[in-house]
Amino acid sequence: MSIEVEFKNIDGMNGLERALKRAGDIVGAVVLLIVLSPVFLYIYIRQKLTNPGPAIYSQERIGKGGKPFSIYKFRTMVVDAEKDGTPQLEQVDDPRLTEFGRVLRKRHLDELPQIWNVLIGDMSFVGYRPERQFFIDKIMEQNPDYQLLYQTCPGVTSMATITNGYTDTMEKMLKRLDMDLDYLKNRSLVLDMKIISKTLFNI
């Protein structure tokens, strides 16, 4: 179910910049899907050979306008990672990770299927990391300004993702929110290029 959200506009980009950003996302996604197709194929085959269950999984996240969408990732955890039905935060050394999943997670290769999310417009290459409604509700109990992020598409990477690491605590989630709001207020095409460069360097 969609969430109706009202907010003040604090987006640092103007209409032209947003259009250029979207065009860059489309071109970049098409190029990367073609160039990285052998990597996709290798990961997919190895997943199927070493781990039972699907190689790629989808999960509902909340994106632009507070609307839910399906995010795609290469599976890094055992199939019944949340068998009790309660959402759990991911951690760096999570015991639920498979052996190959640890390799994918270490280099963030599990995020590659999100290039498809970028292509179809659910996400951008740069933007806040989308969360599940369960955790958004908890964050908004502490800081309701989270809803300001709904002005834009969530992203594959961000400055908060690079510097804050895995958000395995509420403290980290709130710190990430502060950084994401700062990005929203000051974002530009130049800043996006810097974030993408830092991301590639870290990987």
For residue 2, the model assigns a pLDDT of 42
Please identify every stretch of the chain with a pLDDT value under 70, giving residue numbers as ranges.
1-7, 81-93
* pLDDT at residue 96, rounded to an integer: 81
In SS3 terms, the chain reads as: CCCCCCCCCCCCCCHHHHHHHHHHHHHHHHHHHHHCHHHHHHHHHHHHHHCCCCCEEEEEEECHHHCEEEEEEECCECCCCCCCCCCCCCCCCCCCECHHHHHHHHCCHHHCCHHHHHHCCCCEEECCCCCCHHHHHHHHHHCHHHHHHHHCCCEEECHHHHHHCCCCCHHHHHHHHHHHHHHHHHCCHHHHHHHHHHHHHHC
Model pLDDT, residue 89: 67
pLDDT at position 42:
96
Q: Give the model's pLDDT for residue 119.
A: 98
